[in-house]
Chain A
Amino acid sequence: MSSTAADAHGHHGHESHGFVAWCMRWITTTNHKDIGTLYLLFSLAMLFVGGAMALYVRAELAVPGIQFQNPHFFNQMTTVHALIMVFGMIMPAFAGFANWLIPLMIGAPDMALPRLNNWSFWLLPFAAALLVMTLFFDGGGPAGGWTLYPPLVLQTGDALPFVIFAVHLLGMSSIMAAINIIVTIMNLRAPGMTLLRMPLFVWTWLITAYLLLLAMPVLAGGVTMLLTDRFFGTSFFEAAGGGDPVLFQHIFWFFGHPEVYIIILPAFGIISEVIPTFARKPLFGYASMVYATASIAFLSLVVWAHHMFTVGMPLGGQLFFMLTTMIIAVPTGVKVFNWTATLWKGSLSFETPMLFALAFLFLFTLGGFSGLMLAIVPADIQYHDSYFVVAHFHYVLVTGALFGAFAGAYYWLPKMTGHMYDERLAKWHFWLTTISVNVTFFPQHFLGLAGMPRRIPDYATQFADFNLISSLGAFTMGISQLLFVYVIVKCIRGGPRATAKVWDEPRGLEWTVPSPAPHHTFETPPVVK
Chain B
Amino acid sequence: MRKILSAIGAACMASAVLWAAPALADFELNMPQGVTTMSRDIYSLHMQILIVCAVIAAGVYSAMIYAIVRFRKSKGATPAKFSHSTMAEIIWTVIPCIILIAMAVPAARTLVRLEDTRDSELTLKITGYQWQWHYDYIDQGVAFFSMLDRESNATRQPDSGLDPFEVENYLLEVNNHVVVPVDTKVRLLVTAADVLHAWWMPDFGVKKDAIPGFVNETWFEATETGVFRGQCAELCGMDHGFMPIVVEVVSREDFAAWLLRMGATGPAFTEREPADQEMRTASNE
Which A residues form the contact surface with B (CB < 8 A)? 64-72, 75, 143-145, 149, 151-152, 155, 238-240, 244-246, 279-288, 310-312, 315, 318-319, 322-323, 326-327, 329-330, 333-334, 336-338, 340-341, 343-350, 355, 358, 361-362, 365-366, 369, 372-373, 376-379, 381-382, 384-386, 431, 434-435, 438, 442, 446, 449-451, 453, 455-462, 464
Contacts and interface: CB of A to CB of B under 8 A. Distances in A.
B216 to A, nearest CB: 4
Interface stretch (B59-67, B132-140, B251-259, B272-280): B59-67
B15 A334 contact: no
A350 B4 contact: yes
Interface in B78-114: 78-85, 88-89, 92-93, 96-97, 100, 103-104, 107-108, 110-112, 114
Given A68-B158, A239-B213, A348-B77, A75 B235 contact: yes
Given A284-B84, A382-B46, 16 more contacts: A65-B163, A75-B240, A238-B213, A312-B211, A312-B217, A322-B107, A333-B96, A334-B92, A340-B63, A343-B67, A348-B72, A349-B74, A362-B61, A378-B45, A384-B233, A451-B202
B157 A326 contact: no
Contact of A384 (B11, B38, B207): B207
A216 to B, nearest CB: 24
- The A interface is mostly helix, strand or loop, or mixed, namely helix
A71 B27 CA distance: 28
B212 interface: yes
A280 B164 contact: no
A460 B67 contact: no
15 contacts: A239-B212, A286-B83, A286-B84, A310-B209, A330-B96, A340-B64, A346-B67, A350-B4, A355-B4, A373-B46, A381-B42, A382-B42, A450-B30, A451-B200, A451-B202
A464 to B, nearest CB: 8
Contacts of B22: 446, 449
Contacts of A239: 211-214
Interface string B48-61: 01100100110011
A358 to B, nearest CB: 7
Given A151-B196, A337-B92, A343 B156 contact: no
A292 B80 CA distance: 24
A410 to B, nearest CB: 15
B221 interface: no
Given A281-B79, A461-B164, A348 B240 contact: no
Contacts of B236: 152
B11 A323 contact: no
B235 A145 contact: yes
A450 B7 CA distance: 30
A460 B171 contact: yes
B108 A369 contact: no
Interface in B151-195: 155-158, 160, 163-165, 167, 169-172, 194-195
A378 B111 contact: yes
B42 A379 contact: yes
A-B pairs, 6 with minimum CB distance? A239-B213, A456-B241, A312-B216, A345-B80, A64-B164, A343-B67
B111 A318 contact: yes
B285 interface: no
Contacts of A434: 11
Nearest to B232: A453
A362 B14 CA distance: 13
Contacts of B142: none
B235 A245 contact: no
Nearest to A374: B49
Nearest to A147: B235
Contacts of A345: 67, 71, 77, 79-80, 82
B158 A455 contact: no
Nearest to B116: A315
B15 A366 contact: yes
B169 A460 contact: yes
Nearest to A279: B79
A281 B78 CA distance: 10
Contacts of B7: 431
Contacts of A372: 49, 53
A346 B208 contact: no
B29 interface: yes
B104 A326 contact: yes
A184 B211 CA distance: 46
Contact of B241 (A288, A343, A458, A464): A458
A365 B58 CA distance: 11
Contacts of A322: 104, 107-108, 111
A315 B112 contact: yes
A71 B240 CA distance: 9
Contact of A369 (B53, B198, B213): B53
A403 to B, nearest CB: 14
Contacts of B198: 310, 385
Contacts of A435: 11
Interface in B1-16: 1, 4, 7-8, 11-12, 15
B49 A376 contact: yes
A349 B71 CA distance: 9
A348 B22 CA distance: 34
B231 interface: yes
A344 B67 contact: yes
Contact of B165 (A64, A66, A361): A64
Contacts of A458: 156, 164, 171, 241-242
